[in-house]
Structure 1
Amino acid sequence: MRVDERVEEAVREAYRAVIAKDGDRLASALAGLNEDEAQRAVRYAVFVVGFIVNDVFRNGATEAELSGLADKIIASESSWVELGPREDLASLLSAAAGGDVTATSTARADVVGNTFVVGGFLLTSFRLDDQRWWDYLDEIWAAMEAAE
């Protein structure tokens, strides 16, 4: 499946907003998408989160590892956004790693925002030392296109 260019730019802007810790910019990045495009943007973001979780925890993440990662994300992002309880964020990480965020305990309304915030954190935290986050994103989306 080829990444939709219009949706791709909105997702990139959403990640830029997360990295800048700017909630208004995040909302604005996704505001111009129609319902179908918004669903596609969330699917892309879920893939990013799942890809990185599976890349970091190559043998599968334990509940303790996901909880620890959720704690790090909350500590990093809590100055500008409320992500909810650690357990919900760990559940979102686990569900994304499995490819199905409908399996998460995170409230449906929080899944969209949390998925982008988590993805932005993961892109900057787990990229290679000499790699820019957007280059890492390009690699992840290339993998998504190859897989589908």
Structure 2
Amino acid sequence: MAKSNFLQDFKAFAMRGNVIDMAVGIIIGAAFGKIVSAIVSDVIMPLVGLLVGGINFTDLKILLKPEEIVDGVEKAAVYLNYGVFMQAVLDFLVIALSIFFCIKMISKFNKKQEEAPAAPPAPSKEEVLLGEIRDLLKEQNQKEK
């Protein structure tokens, strides 16, 4: 009995609109992140590299400790890979800028929808009554003529 209640509760939770919307958002966000990362690494960074003298940022590093051989065992060199960090910062900035522009366009679109002329409000009871009086007076004036 408890198992079926658990399954029913879980199904109700998983099928709520917010959970599904969030899942779709995460999936689209991950795909969007891949697209932006590809644009940054394959389009923007080569251009930036050309502007600064043909430098590939991901190759920028500082040698902290050179390669050495101790007792016949080779120890790898230790590098500070600051170029990878610069690449990650640039990825973040491009993603943030892209999201900013998307949100700005959505806001602009929503604002245009809000500015669309609304249907005129229904006349108040007083306006309806005054309209009826006006129509009656017109009828009486036409009958007298």
TM-score bin (small chain): under 0.3
Question: Structure 1-normalised TM-score?
Answer: 0.24
Q: Does 1 or 2 have the higher relative contact order (CA < 8 Å, sep 6+)?
A: 1
Rg larger for: 2
Q: TM-score normalized by structure 2?
A: 0.25
